[in-house]
Structures are given as C-alpha cells and as structure tokens.
Homo-oligomer: A and B are copies of this chain.
Amino acid sequence: MKMISPDFDNSSKTPLYIQLYDYLKSEITGGAIGSGEKLPSLRKLSRDLSISITTADLAYSQLAVEGYIYSVPQSGYYVSELNFGADHEITPPEKLIGHDTFTINKPAYRCDLSCFNFVKWKKCMAKVLNEYPEALLYESDPQGEEALRCEISKYVYSSRGVIASPDQIVIGAGTQQLTSHLCRIMKRMNIGLVSTEDPGYLPVQNIFRDHGFSLTKIPVTQDGINISKLPTNLASAVYVSPSNQFPTGSVMPVGRRYQLLKWATENKSYILEDDYDSELRYFGKPVPALQGLDKNSRVVYLGSFSSTLFPAIKISYMVLPEEMMNIWSDIKTDYTQTCSKTEQLTLALFMADGSYSTNIKKLRKLYSQKLQVALSAFNAYADGIVQPVNTQSGINILLKVRTKKDPIHLSELARSLGLNVIPTAELTDQDTSALIFYYNQIPLEEMDAAIENMINKWTE
C-alpha cells in the first residue's frame, strides 16, 4: 500500500481533518489506494502524521459516512469497492464563472404602475414582517391564508356579485396552478372532457392537456361561446370568460348565461368561469359574474390580481362549488401552497385598508382615458384600415387590420417600437389580420405618437 503522506498546510483555514479527508479521498478515487486495502489504524496514523487521534477519527468517519471506506469491527477500516471508471474527474462548467452582477431582465414597456400605491404596499409588507413575524414560522395553509380569503370573499361579492364564503375560496400562484387543482378534483369526479373557447386562452389549455384531459374547441360568436355545440349527455366542463372573452373581448349576454347554466345543470357539468380583467370595465358598472346567477352549484369562479396590482404578483384565487369543495377538502393536504405567505398577508392588509379599491378606481379612470386616446388615434391615422373591436373593458383591445400582411409580421413591426402586440391567427383571414394590442402598457402622453408610428410601420 502506498504511503499515506498528505501535504498539510498548517496556515490554511481548512481544518486538518478536512485536509486529511480530501487527501485520502483523492488517493482512493485516483486509484492510489485500491479497493479492499486496509487503512492504518487511527493510533498508527496519528503517530505517523503527528496529528491527534480525533483528527484521524474525524477524517475516517467522514469517509465512512460517504462510503469511500468501511469499518470492520475489531479489525479496522478498509477501502470500499467503487464502480467508477478512470476518467471521472469533473470540472465545473465555465458558465459558473462571471455571474456576480445582480441583473433584472427588462423588456420594453409592459405595464403602467402610475396608479399603484407603492408606498402603501411597502408599508403593508413591512407591517406583515414587523407585526406578524410568526407568519414565517409556519407553512401557508394549502388553501391560502384565511385573512386573504376573507378579504377576497368581501371583494368579489361587492365588485362582481360572486357569492363565496372564505371556506370556498382556494388561493394559488396563478391561474395555471389553480387549474392543476381543478384537474385533480375533476378526475376524481370522472370528468375527462373540457370544452374551451376558440379562439381562447391557451396557457390554461396546456394544463388540462398535461393532466390527460380531452379538449374540444367550441367556436366563439359575438355573444360568447356557442352553447349549442357543447357536449350533452355527458358530465364535462367548459372553460369560458363570459365577461371579457379573450381575445375577442365579447360579453356573454345574461340570457346566454342562463342558457349556459341550464346546460351545466342538465348535463351535470361544470362551468369554469375565468373572470380575468373583468373589474376593468370603462363603461357603466362591470358586468356581474356568471357565478352570482348560479343556483345549482355548477360554476367555478377564477380571479386574479396581476392586471389590477402588478404583473409580478402571482396570486390568483378560485371559488369552488360545494361538491368540488368537498373533494378538495379531502385532498388539499396532499398539495403545498405555492403563493408567498408574506405577499398573501400583504395583499390582505392592502385590501382591508381600502387601498386595493382605490387602486382599481384609479386604474379604471386612467385606462378609460388611454382607451379614448387610442381609439381617437386609430380613427385619425388608420380610419378604414384598423378596426378596434369590443373596446369597453380589459387591458387590451382586438384590432382587425385590413391588409395582406400577416399578423406575425405586423406584430414584429409593433414590437420593434416597444409595443406589446400579439398576432391572433384564429381571427385572421385573407384580407384581415387580427392582433391583440395591450394599450394599457403605454403611457397616456405617448399613446397618440406610439399608435401613429405603429400605423406608419404597418402601412409603409
């Protein structure tokens, strides 16, 4: 056996036992000390190397814990059988080096925070950290913090006519996360088919697909989803956005809403109502949610804070009808809460003191001004070429552009100006390109010029 002769560095901050451990490990993995060889006793090693027995013992024990060596009682330590080849040295990739800067990705304009009471938000967050530090000690309730669920319960009733006790509300980090929970619940109810709006909101469809659901696309008309094409004689679910359909912006009239509820009741099916952005209606009152009309517990209501607070907040919620709530109660402890507890409690305080309502009021005013200016600009610079469709709500408008250019090209031209414009193939035909235009992200004073520039690019 090779001599054990580590080159100790007594000036190093690395403890001697670690130096000995490192040395022995590299001798073993390098093959200098072979499998099955017996190592010197602790007493001998300590004498040979002039180290304490404790140091030798610590090094051997660490090697033993990691399995490089093993001890045979009353006999000593032996090198283990290791099944690696000779070329097992690994060096860290170069990528690891040179990442010392603190960077945040900054796309072009994406959002307007001029209404957001940032000072208040920071105060609420400070209050949570200072006055409720014990909140950090425990994981969040899988269903979400009760304080926030109570605030949401009051808010959705007053603003959207949604009837939900705090016990029926489930909080999650985004609509996709909540949709995963819905998939788990629906599987246990033997629902395997989900109808979606065509065109509709794709990110949610990915989740249904991942969970093995069959998807069927139902065309959207001016009045929302075509109810007569929904599956019958079969328990299924339909994902709809009746108060502000994405991307057409259409609103389902109340008569159609009752028809949809009737379909759900008759077919023991469920309506998954995505109420995204519906607080932001600029003409009159917001259209109340479908959930509030439901007497037969057939509606799941989904809401979110990212358009009304700021995009980086990932807090969404859903209101479950009774049967689904019972199933959720049985399985909820299987799943951990994904929302930040600090942010959930911050939002609860922000809602409780009225800051959230104030924020929405200000947003409605600002966005309706922006919308006005945007519509005037399209009228002035693109009359007869660009037709804005369903322009009463939300943070985006659908544009129908009379052109032979395809919408992907138009979108790229707009993006080159820093504007967020998304092509919509489903609504595009030979003579018309359809695009979704996020007008809300453009500062009011830049709106007119931004649209003029975009139209110029498009008509060049």
Binding site for B on A (CB under 8 A): 17-18, 21, 58, 61-62, 65-68, 70, 80-84, 87-88, 90, 92-93, 95-96, 99-100, 102-107, 110-111, 113, 118, 121-122, 125-126, 129-130, 132-141, 145-147, 150, 153-154, 157, 163-167, 173-174, 176-177, 180, 183-184, 187, 202-203, 206, 210-212, 223, 251-259, 262, 283-285, 287-288, 292-293, 295, 306, 310-314, 334-343, 345, 348-349, 352, 392
Which residue of chain B has the shortest Cβ distance to A88 in the bound complex? Answer: B295
Which residue of chain B has the shortest Cβ distance to A180 in the bound complex? Answer: B180
Report A393 CB to chain B, min CB distance, Å. Answer: 9
Contact indicator B125/A110 (Cβ below 8 Å):
no
Contact indicator B17/A284 (Cβ below 8 Å):
yes
**Docked CA distance A214–B42 (Å):** 49
Across-interface contacts of A342 in B (CB, < 8 A): 312, 340, 342-343
Partner of A338, one of B80, B92, B177: B177
Contact indicator B166/A95 (Cβ below 8 Å):
yes
Which residue of chain B has the shortest Cβ distance to A174 in the bound complex? Answer: B336
This chain: how many copies in the complex? 2
Contact indicator A343/B345 (Cβ below 8 Å):
no
**Docked CA distance A163–B137 (Å):** 31
Report A98 CB to chain B, min CB distance, Å. Answer: 9
Decide yes or no: A118 and B133 within 8 Å by CB, A180-B180, A210-B183 being known contacts.
yes
**Docked CA distance A115–B290 (Å):** 50
Which residue of chain B has the shortest Cβ distance to A35 in the bound complex? Answer: B255
Which residue of chain B has the shortest Cβ distance to A292 in the bound complex? Answer: B90
Contact indicator A287/B65 (Cβ below 8 Å):
yes
Contact indicator A154/B253 (Cβ below 8 Å):
no
Across-interface contacts of A93 in B (CB, < 8 A): 163, 165
Decide yes or no: A311 and B137 within 8 Å by CB, A103-B146, A251-B65 being known contacts.
yes
Contact indicator B135/A125 (Cβ below 8 Å):
no
Across-interface contacts of A90 in B (CB, < 8 A): 163, 292-293, 295
Contact indicator A110/B137 (Cβ below 8 Å):
yes
**Docked CA distance A138–B88 (Å):** 43
Contact indicator A140/B312 (Cβ below 8 Å):
yes
Across-interface contacts of A18 in B (CB, < 8 A): 284-285
**Docked CA distance A134–B68 (Å):** 50
Contact indicator A122/B113 (Cβ below 8 Å):
no
Contact indicator B137/A96 (Cβ below 8 Å):
no
Decide yes or no: A110 and B129 within 8 Å by CB, A103-B147, A284-B58 being known contacts.
no
Report A323 CB to chain B, min CB distance, Å. Answer: 16
**Docked CA distance A159–B173 (Å):** 30
Which residue of chain B has the shortest Cβ distance to A223 in the bound complex? Answer: B67
Across-interface contacts of A106 in B (CB, < 8 A): 134, 138
Contact indicator B136/A310 (Cβ below 8 Å):
yes
Across-interface contacts of A135 in B (CB, < 8 A): 104, 312
A–B complex contacts, Cβ < 8 Å, 19 sampled: A66-B288, A83-B262, A93-B163, A95-B165, A96-B153, A99-B166, A105-B146, A111-B138, A125-B129, A136-B310, A140-B314, A173-B339, A174-B336, A183-B210, A203-B336, A210-B211, A211-B211, A312-B340, A340-B340
Partner of A312, one of B88, B139, B206, B257: B139
**Docked CA distance A150–B312 (Å):** 20
Decide yes or no: A153 and B336 within 8 Å by CB, A104-B134, A137-B312, A254-B66 being known contacts.
no
With contacts A92-B157, A314-B337 known, what are 7 further pairs, Cβ within 8 A? A65-B392, A121-B129, A125-B125, A136-B312, A211-B212, A313-B341, A339-B340
